[in-house]
Amino acid sequence: MSKIILQEVLFLILLVGFSIPLGLFMYKVMSGEKVFLTRLLKPVENCFYRLMGIKAEEEMSAKKYAFSVIIFSMAGFLFLFLLLLLQGILPFNTEGMKGLSFDLAFNTTASFVTNTNWQAYSGESSLSYLSQFLGLTVQNFVSAGVGIAVLFALIRGFIIKEKKAIGNFWADVTRAVVYILLPLSLVVAVLLVSQGVVQNFSSYKEITALQDGAAQILPMGPAASQVAIKQLGTNGGGFFGMNSAYPFENPTSFSNLLQMLSILLIPAALLVSFGKAVKDKRQGRTLYAVMMILFVAALIFTTVSEQYTAPSYAGVSYSGNMEGKETIHGVGMSSLWAVVTTAASNGSVNAMHDSLTPLGGLMPLFLMQLGEIVFGGAGSGLYGILSFVLLAVFIAGLMVGRTPEYLGKKVEPYDMKMVCLLILVPPLVSLLGTGAAVLMPSVQGWLTNSGAHGFSEILYAFSSMGNNNGSAFGGFTANTPFTNITGGVIMLLARFIPLIAVIFLGGNMAGKKPVAASEGTLSTSNGMFAGLLIGVILIVTALSFLPALALGPVADYFTTR
Amino acid sequence: MKSSRGVLRPAIVCLLLMTALCGVLYTAAVTGIAGIFFPQKANGSIITVTLKDGSRKEYGSALIAQEFSDPKYLIGRPLGTSNLSPTSAEQKKLVEKRIEWWHNLDPDNKREIPSDLVTASASGVDPGISPDAAAYQAGRIARERGMTEDEVKEIIDKYTIRSFLGIFGEPAVNVLKVNLALDGLL
């Protein structure tokens, strides 16, 4: 156990250490300042603007910004959807994959456009290389880019004074992809190949096994390039069905560490960018501390559960719960990954979450249900927690009878309506989806486990899609027309309603006159506020999900102990 | 509508440019670099052995497990993924069956079985087992092959992968490589 604690502490130190310089870098990039890559990449950026026919300095209203996001996402949706349907007649298809069925193509497209990366398919048995690199890889980049862009639109809302403009979406998404995601991915991808993640366009390799001479098929493909951005962009969709548990996707303990850092790196760094952007580092630090407290609590809970609550057997030495875990990752790195991937809205796995202990599996589920705000998705994590900040400020304002304000801007009814959309849509669609699935007559046939754990499989699936995470209890049969269509719609609602609400929130904030802080202003950068914020987050989530959690993992724990 | 035209062109152009840059160029660049600097790793870490007659034979990937059940080989973890809850009745039955299997394979071995040998992995093709799980089998392999236990342990040790910096992750013994070495192929 002491080794596991050492691993986890060192991991967090590395994360914080890398996030600070990257955060400052990202702030500069997103505000159009010069960075060390400018000389190299400015021509690329300018070429983008010229061909798009836009001017980067031309600021947009919230309406125009939102409209641009929607049209851009729809274009991406259409392109990917057609690619998946038609892959059978397109090139780079060494294994002769057929086009996906309509409902599976819809689900997969929705999943990748929304940065969820829920996978109802298995890459190596359903997708051509073309679909992977030309379709999925690209959406991995741009969906993360959109998240970062929209976050900065909101941040500008707080810092702009009395102007109804929040930046240019095309410039934001271009900068996020070209300066941040692409260079980082290139470095990570090459490091991953050096560890043994495959990267080629060969056909699958047939091998004769040593013992019986039985044939073994080894899947191939351009995996490393996609795995790098799947982690950095908090996407999470595996190149192979078994995701980062599959050795071709995550072969060594170094690749494992690198991928875990990549998952949390950008969401953590954005907190630093935020502090810099609002010219008050304490604001960023407070949110960083809040996330870190929730993260560490979740980590301790999961690790202890995995290490100590597995069943023991006579004649077997006890070493925690190794079911569904790889030898090289062990209990420690598997527990850490499970928390990392669900705290961020990543959803890649290096262990089978279905085979976590009941309480060990409760925490990843709960982290998703928090709304992906403990670091969360690239961009979406920070705008998610900012909505909780406004809610906390609002509640505190009600208690003392003052108009609440945040970062010098008054929080008014319009803003709170946007906050409600942000906070309430994900739990609503998660629970409605779970409820609908439970009512399906055929639902028993979709489950691997029975009883309370079976219910957890359903709850996990819809919480994952309803919060744009994408991880799964693997025993749940995802590829059914019902889950594909319902899940696809849920993912789209859970992504785009909050996203649009954020843009309008930013637009409304931008138009306001800043108010000077007075003695009566609630400080949002001290311990008391951090405590209030954690309280608000936990209460909202508990009110939404406790009944469902009681029927799932909690009941599972008490009935199988 | 004027505003939709103002958005449609950048949307389509942006998507096409992103597809060219992140889909085509980036993937090609990574593939190129991988092919130049890490050709063996980029192509699946295939173990190629030069046989005595000079011909070369591929024996599988160092990263993907093969099935071994013969007592003269080091035996890996159960293949396939269960997705079962570790506390479920189905899982209990499975584990008990595996315990019995190990006891039948080597009835005189009264040591405790390391838990990774009776649980399924995440990938279903875990190429490694814990050093304990390998040590547990060393006596049996030595007996089956007429080697000393120390010779077997030496081979096991040679193909044990340490964790990163000795801190992150766990050490693991590569089952396929050990078996190739036991057969004198590696």
As for the ipTM of the complex, it is: 0.95
Measured CA distances, A422 to A141, A390, A493, A531, A555 (Å): 23, 11, 11, 21, 30
Paired tokens of A473: 């209890």
Q: Is A229–B22 a contact, with Cβ atoms under 8 angstroms apart?
A: yes
The pLDDT assigned to A518 comes to: 82
CA neighbours closer than 13 Å in the CB half-sphere of residue A417: 6
Contacts of A466 (CB under 8 A, 6+ apart): A426, A427, A429, A430, A431, A433, A490, A491, A494
Q: Output helix, strand, coil percentages for chain B, rounded to the nearest 5.
A: 50, 10, 40
pLDDT-derived band at A560, boundaries 50, 70, 90 = confident
Q: Which residues of B touch A198 (CB under 8 A)?
A: 41-44
pLDDT tens, A57-90?
999 999 999 999 999 999 999 999 999 999 999 9
Q: Hey, CA dihedral for A322, A324, A325, A326, is it positive or negative?
A: positive
Report whether A321 contacts A306 (CB < 8 A). yes
pLDDT (average), residues A36-40: 94
In chain A, which residue's Cα lies nearest the Cα of B61?
A: A218
The lowest-confidence range among A126-140, B4-18, B169-183 is: B4-18
pLDDT (average), residues A298-313: 95
Tell me what percent of the residues of chain A surpass a pLDDT of 70. Answer: 100
pLDDT (average), residues A17-38: 96
Give the 3-state secondary structure of A343-369. HCCCCCCCECHHHCCHHHHHHHHHHHH
Contacts of A128 (CB under 8 A, 6+ apart): A87, A88, A90, A92, A93, A94, A95, A97
Q: Is B26–A182 a contact, with Cβ atoms under 8 angstroms apart?
A: yes
In chain A, which residue's Cα lies nearest the Cα of B93?
A: A313
Q: Is A355–B82 a contact, with Cβ atoms under 8 angstroms apart?
A: yes
pLDDT tens, A150-198?
999 999 999 998 888 999 999 999 999 999 999 999 999 999 999 999 9
Q: Around Cβ A447, how many Cβ atoms within 10 Å? A: 20
pLDDT (average), residues B173-177: 97
Give the closest of B83, B163, B176 to A352, CB-based: B83
pLDDT (average), residues B114-134: 96
Q: Which B residues, 30 through 89, put their C-beta within 8 Å of a C-beta on chain A?
A: 30-31, 33-35, 37-38, 41-46, 58-64, 66-70, 73, 77, 81-88
**Domain residue ranges of chain A, discontinuous segments joined by +:** 379-560
Q: Which residues of A touch B105 (CB under 8 A)?
A: none
pLDDT tens, A106-115?
999 999 999 9
Whole-number Å distance between alpha carbons of A547 and A438: 15
Furthest C-alpha separation in chain A? 79
The pLDDT assigned to B1 comes to: 45
The pLDDT assigned to B3 comes to: 54
In chain B, which residue's Cα lies nearest the Cα of A245?
A: B123
H-helix or E-strand spanning residue A465: helix A451-466
Q: Which residues of B touch A239 (CB under 8 A)?
A: none
Average pLDDT, chain B: 94
DSSP strand pairing (B172-174 vs B160-161): antiparallel
Measured CA distances, A393 to A158, A455, A513 (Å): 15, 36, 18
Contacts of A407 (CB under 8 A, 6+ apart): A158, A159, A278, A280, A283, A524
Backbone phi and psi for residue B174, each to the nearest 5 degrees, phi listed first: -80, 110
Tell me what percent of the residues of chain A surpass a pLDDT of 90. Answer: 95
DSSP strand pairing (B113-114 vs A316-317): parallel
Report whether A69 contacts A114 (CB < 8 A). no
Dihedral through CA A143, CA A149, CA A150, CA A153, nearest 10? -170
- A175 three-state secondary structure: helix
In chain B, which residue's Cα lies nearest the Cα of A195?
A: B41
**Domain residue ranges of chain B, discontinuous segments joined by +:** 4-43, 62-183
Q: Is A11–B168 a contact, with Cβ atoms under 8 angstroms apart?
A: yes
pLDDT tens, B59-111?
999 999 999 999 999 999 999 999 999 999 999 999 999 999 999 999 999 99
Distance from CA of A404 to the nearest CA of B (A): 36
pLDDT-derived band at B4, boundaries 50, 70, 90 = low
pLDDT tens, A431-478?
999 999 999 999 999 999 999 999 999 999 999 999 999 999 999 999
Q: Which residues of A touch B19 (CB under 8 A)?
A: 79, 134, 138
Distance from CA of B180 to the nearest CA of A (A): 8
Report whether A510 contacts A156 (CB < 8 A). yes
- Output the pTM of the full model: 0.95
pLDDT (average), residues A304-332: 95
- B10 three-state secondary structure: helix
The pLDDT assigned to B5 comes to: 61
- A36 three-state secondary structure: coil
Whole-number Å distance between alpha carbons of A457 and A552: 8
Average pLDDT, chain A: 95
Residue A62, phi-psi category: left (phi > 0), alpha (psi -120 to 50), beta (remainder): alpha
Tell me what percent of the residues of chain B surpass a pLDDT of 90. Answer: 89
